[in-house]
Structure 1
């Protein structure tokens, strides 16, 4: 049964693009927001309320494993379940976007104001460098440094100094060096975009949030190439919402290409193979990029004390303690290794962590239980590092399994698939940097030593050889959940772009995509803050166009 609802602007979202609540105050008419999940609650402070896609790897990458690829379900999307880490990327990322799109409004100089507009920064760790010139203090999203500044954090920062590397504010243009994570946090509670950008505006009569609504298709007229309405299901019933002005698709790096392809917009060969009529041939889902995340553990004489869970919960109720921090570590560094080209942006992120075997199994390496158990066989607790290539050039794909909208799409990040091995060499150089760190006086006084058993799939290689570490990296790589590029922005669709610099879908009227899927190149960092910047920028452009 279809119920037609006439509205001015329909917004579909599934990640963390919720800036449009502000837009409703200035646009005449009605705005509907459709979300597959429900309203946020305290349970979203823990990363369990998520849709779990599966990401598979092809044999060429080095393994045939399946990893989970979560997507937040709720008003706030993935900002409800991610690590709540605020990174803005590097100026060269955005200057490159401006060149790719031939639109100078995307240069770092021009997007900085939108970063600052979204941000309310609190300098909570006086030991960490901060350049307030590049931070906003009047925005809606509260951001602070991860605290307390503990011994493991200080050791990591001291090791950077031992190696004559800078301590820096990584959210300033001088991104290279050691730092402390800045996180979306207020009074010990996660700052999610639903509670910040939507909840305060729900009393307006022209803004409506339709929760538990699953979008199955955008209806597009095949002759006029105009997006006219959205089809969604709720409580077993099917509805159609018509949009007079435009439809904005913000379903995330997986959801947005899935909905476009189900609607007939995508690679024509793929759509025809699964029986979908092609309305517009665009390379939707063809430039998927994520940061490959790898871990390595070390033996040390350092131990951590377990805090009883009842004490942690009591602290949480007072807005303090370990449960108020959603980051695994506190220290972080951004570095440039394997220097190629003239780019000065970092291509490596490193952060320390404490990992116990009891925490394994349900995490990044769920499908590699045998490998994981062998890796941890001789110790109960490790100190270690996560490291990630944050400037990969390998491109994967998002494809439909079939034309059933309720089937999860096929996700293949194709890590380390570039023909010149550039990506895996960056990760290898990252390992070298970590070993150099652990050999500094700061870590040696803690007895850091690499004593792991050989990784079972890599036992045929000489341990610690380049070939061994290449094998190790391929098998231990997992998605960092920083996916981008599946609805890539560009000058024209002939070069593989899906949307223009105003984020309008090429060849389709009244349809825009606004989320991380439009990033034409990956960001040197995490994606939540760059998406907020994009949302603030496009929100201003939408208001300017219609007012």
Structure 2
């Protein structure tokens, strides 16, 4: 505890204070980069095992398994596979360790513009992202030990049972809700006040619980939603449809990342090697046997090869797993040939991509201050409260405090299946005076000035609706065969033929307006902000046509992209992997991350990614342990220390 307080003191008094000065000068990107480049801040929060953070991987060293990517699924795989002491595991991570400040939940938006973020951008498209700088949306993706779990919003959502039953019904046995629920429970160390107990457990690696701080506006939203007919539920329990305070991946008020949850408990295992700053650039494949036998990667500007006796497992995420497959000759034949990449296996890699988008143009003003205040970020007492007690306003998940799952009148699905998630924020895009949220949500400066500027320093709350089952489908491509070139992302938002995505959004806006009219909000005089969004002046405010215009301007991603290495049966022309996560046509190669998820889930994809990692570990163990008939004494289980 003393050491943490000392770290906090250094962070806040020596570096962070100067960074906040940068914030006040509207240089958020520079401020975030300053934070991550401050060498004095790069202090690990746990003792480094030289074997764990493998500094000098020898050329052509051989392993049983190589895992590419240390995010949600990759961190699980590294932990679970290294439980077998006879197996030698290499985990390759392109990034470095995250800095201690990423542990502060409320700061989540800041680190999406730093060296621990890939800083990807989607390609420009007509009819969407009209309010983004250059009409290109920022697509955050983690680039550090722990992957995106070090910069996401820590929201813990499993999804709806029907998601997984449909997943299995698409020709993927073993992925129904009955099959995957044990893995969701297995991962958890749950501390949730209102819960369906049979759906949770204590003792797992991943901490999940209630958020210690709740604003008065969050209480008002939860009560108003119930007044509007939405029951209070444990949305990770028996029923998802309803309202709840948000559940998050926090441990004593601080971020519980994949690194903290799964990698730290395994750090003393001599059979697990973690190589940081190691960029995988090619899967090594024997053309005669069509078998993966290793990875070529770059570290410290030198090329290395790591070889495997069993499997290569890609857990690099929905962008980088398909990129690495295509760079290695596994992908759409015509696309690879146009880039002069020798075709090893013709598969529809990157041909399908779903994403969750949201709308940030619904704001409500109250006559009493009931929301979170930006000044909380500058008060040193709150940092001490966070470290010493795990409490206070800094524990909020980037501002998110509650969720509601609803079925709008645009849906034709069963009554128990939501089509929208309502994300309640005790504040607005203007809460930080345009310093971080504006950039995170890809809002150009002139649009912010013309619409949100007037909301600064006011008591404003908002709900951002998230479209959970989009009909519009995007895709990704390689820019070139150079592994250092970003992939090209084509989201294709709002391109479905029947305009269903827009209609669903508009229906959700009407429900949010109805919730605002409930007594729990009206006792604060809550009124909708009715300023017309710049660019939509030709439409009358609050008509369906106005909302469609606004949606086409300001619908940022919530970075839940899936399906770029879609799972499916062998007769599915869109499938890249089978239900065992094995890449079609290539032996000893699996993909285990969100890229395999074949449909958009009623979830934030971080928790399903952990589930994929847990299930993948069991699939691999069943195959290889059975073939080797290992003795149970070779299995090592880690003690989970809650002090980490």
Q: TM-score, normalised by structure 2?
A: 0.81
* Paired position in structure 2 for 1:106: 175
Pair 1:135-2:200 in alignment = yes
What does the per-residue CA deviation read over 1:248-274, in whole Å, with 9 as the maximum and x for residues that have no partner? Answer: 000001111111111111111221222
1:428 is aligned, of 476, 485, 506, to: 506
Q: Is the 8 A contact 2:566 2:596 kept in 1?
A: yes
1:360 CA drift (Å): 2.5
* Paired position in structure 1 for 2:454: 378
* Paired position in structure 2 for 1:360: 434
Q: Is the 8 A contact 1:374 1:453 kept in 2?
A: no
What does the per-residue CA deviation read over 1:261-299, in whole Å, with 9 as the maximum and x for residues that have no partner? Answer: 111111112212222111111111111111111112122
Q: SS of the residue aligned with 1:164?
A: coil
1:359 CA drift (Å): 4.1
Q: Is the 8 A contact 2:63 2:89 kept in 1?
A: yes
What does the per-residue CA deviation read over 1:77-104, in whole Å, with 9 as the maximum and x for residues that have no partner? Answer: 111111111100000000011111241x
Q: Is the 8 A contact 2:118 2:142 kept in 1?
A: yes
Cα distance 1:213–1:493, how it changes in 2: closer, same or farther (>3 A)?
farther
1:463 CA drift (Å): 2.1
Cα distance 1:451–1:186, how it changes in 2: closer, same or farther (>3 A)?
closer
Cα distance 1:541–1:335, how it changes in 2: closer, same or farther (>3 A)?
same
Q: Is the 8 A contact 1:62 1:474 kept in 2?
A: yes
* Paired position in structure 1 for 2:515: 437
Runs of 4+ in 1 over 6 A off after TM superposition: none
* Paired position in structure 2 for 1:42: 100
Cα distance 1:364–1:196, how it changes in 2: closer, same or farther (>3 A)?
closer
Q: Is the 8 A contact 2:406 2:418 kept in 1?
A: yes
Is 286-295 or 323-332 further displaced after alignment?
Answer: 323-332
Cα distance 1:343–1:177, how it changes in 2: closer, same or farther (>3 A)?
closer
1:404 is aligned, of 482, 485, 499, to: 482
Q: Is the 8 A contact 2:62 2:309 kept in 1?
A: yes
* Paired position in structure 1 for 2:76: 19
2:391 is aligned, of 320, 323, 328, to: 320
Stretches of structure 2 that go unaligned for 5 or more consecutive residues are 1-56, 626-644
What does the per-residue CA deviation read over 1:366-390, in whole Å, with 9 as the maximum and x for residues that have no partner? Answer: 3522222211243323221111101
* Paired position in structure 1 for 2:403: 332
* Paired position in structure 1 for 2:584: 506
2:153 is aligned, of 63, 75, 83, to: 83
* Paired position in structure 1 for 2:122: 55
Q: How many Å separate the matches in 1 of 2:345 and 2:72? A: 27
Cα distance 1:277–1:294, how it changes in 2: closer, same or farther (>3 A)?
same
Q: Is the 8 A contact 2:96 2:144 kept in 1?
A: yes
1:345 is aligned, of 417, 421, 434, to: 417
2:365 is aligned, of 299, 311, 322, to: 299
Stretches of structure 1 that go unaligned for 5 or more consecutive residues are none
Cα distance 1:167–1:373, how it changes in 2: closer, same or farther (>3 A)?
same
Q: SS of the residue aligned with 2:284?
A: strand
The number of aligned residues is: 542
What does the per-residue CA deviation read over 1:3-29, in whole Å, with 9 as the maximum and x for residues that have no partner? Answer: 211111101115322112122121623
What does the per-residue CA deviation read over 1:26-76, in whole Å, with 9 as the maximum and x for residues that have no partner? Answer: 162311000011234413324423221112341144636112111112221
* Paired position in structure 1 for 2:611: 533
Q: Is the 8 A contact 1:61 1:417 kept in 2?
A: no
Question: Within 5 A, what are the aligned runs for 1:126-525?
Answer: 129-295=194-360, 296-303=362-369, 304=371, 305=373, 306-307=375-376, 308-318=378-388, 319-337=390-408, 338-342=410-414, 344-353=416-425, 354-355=427-428, 356=430, 358-360=432-434, 362=436, 363-380=439-456, 381=458, 382-492=460-570, 494-525=572-603
1:216 CA drift (Å): 0.9
When the two chains are superposed, the root-mean-square deviation of aligned CA atoms in Å is 1.9
Q: How many Å separate the matches in 2 of 1:160 and 1:367? A: 29
Q: How many Å separate the matches in 1 of 2:570 and 2:127? A: 31
Q: How many Å separate the matches in 1 of 2:179 and 2:424? A: 34
Cα distance 1:2–1:266, how it changes in 2: closer, same or farther (>3 A)?
farther
Q: How many Å separate the matches in 2 of 1:173 and 1:506? A: 36
